[in-house]
Amino acid sequence: MGKLSVIIGTQWGDEGKGKWVDKIAHDIDIVCRFQGGNNAGHTVHVGGKKHVFHLLPNGVLHEGKIIALTSGVVIDPRVLMREIKNLREHVSVTPERLWISTLAHVITPWHVYLDTKSEESAKNPIGTTKRGIGPTYAERDLRNGMRVETMARPEKRKEWLSKRKEADPEFKTFYDQNPALWKEFEVSAAFIADYICPAEEKIRKGLKEGQNVLCEGAQGTMLDINHGTYPFVTSSSTLASQAAVSLGIDPRKIDRILGVGKVYATRVGEGPFPTEIHDQLGQVLRERGNEYGATTKRPRRCGWFDAIAMRFANEVNGLDGVYLNKLDILSGLETIKVAVAYKHPTLGVLNEYPSSSEVLKECKPVYETFKAWQQDIPRQGSFSKLPGAARDFLLKLEEFSRCRILSVGTGVDREDFLTP
Ligand code: IMP
Ligand code: MG
């Protein structure tokens, strides 16, 4: 039996999961995306060129590995076609190497339109990426969505579209008024048909035959549809357990669950963010950490490390440990804060993350304050090379989070990290 690993975000997404996927990928045979869609975004450098991927997992650059998108993913074929074409200039992307699940759901131009319309007309928008994610999951759950299997067969696809036109006059109008969008949809649907297969079946078989599988999460724990800050969440489950659901695998077969976070916190989009920094310092972190969305280019809201949220992420995911990025960004600050509890106006001090968004909204963080280190930190090597203040800071993060720190990121380069 091969090993099954899952790596997920512990905060609000954008933790820098890609760096650690690269680090642990050497003995992995199959890398999977198991939830979300092209709301995600990661920047990678291939052949001296910068690329931003939204749908394909980071593992795609490791030529020898199989890449899979499994049942819980929502797929915009137009985006997928673009990414495959882009990538083919640098690495091989064949149907033997890229497995797109028949069971995944399809984002059509209609779903993108619905997402955009509801955000733009809402009194309290969620701040979605307007990529059609929510409407696609909604239709999946209503059981009238389009599955990849349907999209891949021209006559079935046509049937789905005709039925929808008949049932929904607004859909028909949108369809008739946007021929270019639907043409693009048709072309891309035909293009990706070659890559479609019973991916979950093949992954289960691979595992049985000794292949190692890595499931790469998108977004983060605090954006989880069930346990996150509803309604300011994404529409999929971002927790590690979702990997087993999406792959159709015995959850007891997951061998290790790895979390990724940053030594501070960011959030893009609306919703509660107790440790948000509202003054000039937030801007300093944003500029230094280049905290702008890879998908929407929106400036990310910046805040202090939230140990209550990290404890929660540890608990709901069952982490074996966490990789923390961007320690270098904190060098030279005067002081650093870490939220260790919340204070609620009527409930008092809360030591655990409140599952109610209504309660969370009213919480103020209780901080521990640290003196920062003034010198630059080493990019590589072990924690012992760090200034004392940085070492103490990490020890405290570990203690407050009740979670083992596996490694710490110290720069943009994939090799920039320190180990305990
Ligand atoms: P949606 O996933 O586009 O529906 O957006 C819902 C919420 O999740 C919004 O607050 C988005 O900003 C956020 N979100 C979605 N994908 C990502 C991501 O990859 N990183 C960070 N935030 C994300
Ligand atoms: Mg991102």
The residue behind tokens 């919703």 is 271
Ligand nearest to the CA of 296: 1
Mean pLDDT of the chain: 95
Q: For a substitution probing ligand 1, which of 39, 43, 300 has the most ligand atoms within 8 Å of its CB? A: 39
Ranking 33-42, 59-68, 78-87, 117-126 by mean pLDDT, the lowest is 59-68
Share above pLDDT 90 across residues of the chain, in percent, rounded to a whole number: 89
Q: Is the CB of 239 under 6 A from ligand 1?
A: no
Q: Could you report the per-residue pLDDT of 177-229, keeping only the tens digit for each? A: 999 999 999 999 999 999 999 999 999 999 999 999 999 999 999 999 999 99
Ligand nearest to the CA of 290: 2
**Centre of ligand 2 from the C-alpha of residue 156, in Å:** 34
How many angstroms separate the CA atoms of 108 and 40, rounded?
A: 17
Going by pLDDT thresholds of 50, 70 and 90, the confidence category of residue 140 is: very high
Nearest to 206 by CA among 8, 304, 87, 66: 66
Q: Is the CB of 269 under 6 A from ligand 1?
A: yes
CB 296 within 8 A of CB 268: yes
pLDDT of residue 185: 98
Cα distances (Å, whole numbers) of residue 62 to 22, 212, 310: 8, 14, 30
Name residue 6's amino acid. V
CB 247 within 8 A of CB 200: yes
Atom of ligand 1 nearest to the CA of 115: 4
pLDDT of residue 110: 98
Model confidence at 48: pLDDT above 80? no
Ligand nearest to the CA of 39: 1
Nearest to 193 by CA among 89, 334, 98: 98
Model confidence at 300: pLDDT above 70? yes
Q: Is the CB of 125 under 6 A from ligand 1?
A: no
Going by pLDDT thresholds of 50, 70 and 90, the confidence category of residue 91 is: confident
CATH topology of domain 261-419: Adenylosuccinate Synthetase; Chain A, domain 3 (3.90.170)
Task: Mark the residues whose beta carbon lies below 5 A from ion ligand 2.
Answer: 14, 41, 294
Model confidence at 159: pLDDT above 70? yes
pLDDT of residue 245: 98
Share above pLDDT 70 across residues of the chain, in percent, rounded to a whole number: 99
Going by pLDDT thresholds of 50, 70 and 90, the confidence category of residue 46 is: low
Residues 369-392 as b/e (b if ≥16 CB within 10 A, e otherwise) read: ebebbeeebbbeeebeebbebbee
**Centre of ligand 2 from the C-alpha of residue 39, in Å:** 8
Atom of ligand 1 nearest to the CA of 268: 12
Going by pLDDT thresholds of 50, 70 and 90, the confidence category of residue 166 is: very high
Average pLDDT over residues 82-93: 90
Which of the residues are catalytic? 14, 42
Nearest to 265 by CA among 274, 255, 256: 274
**Centre of ligand 2 from the C-alpha of residue 218, in Å:** 8
Average pLDDT over residues 47-74: 89
**Centre of ligand 1 from the C-alpha of residue 46, in Å:** 25
How many angstroms separate the CA atoms of 378 and 327, rounded?
A: 10
Q: Could you report the per-residue pLDDT of 354-364, keeping only the tens digit for each? A: 989 889 999 99
Q: Is the CB of 14 under 6 A from ligand 1?
A: yes
**Centre of ligand 2 from the C-alpha of residue 342, in Å:** 27
Q: Is the CB of 70 under 6 A from ligand 1?
A: no
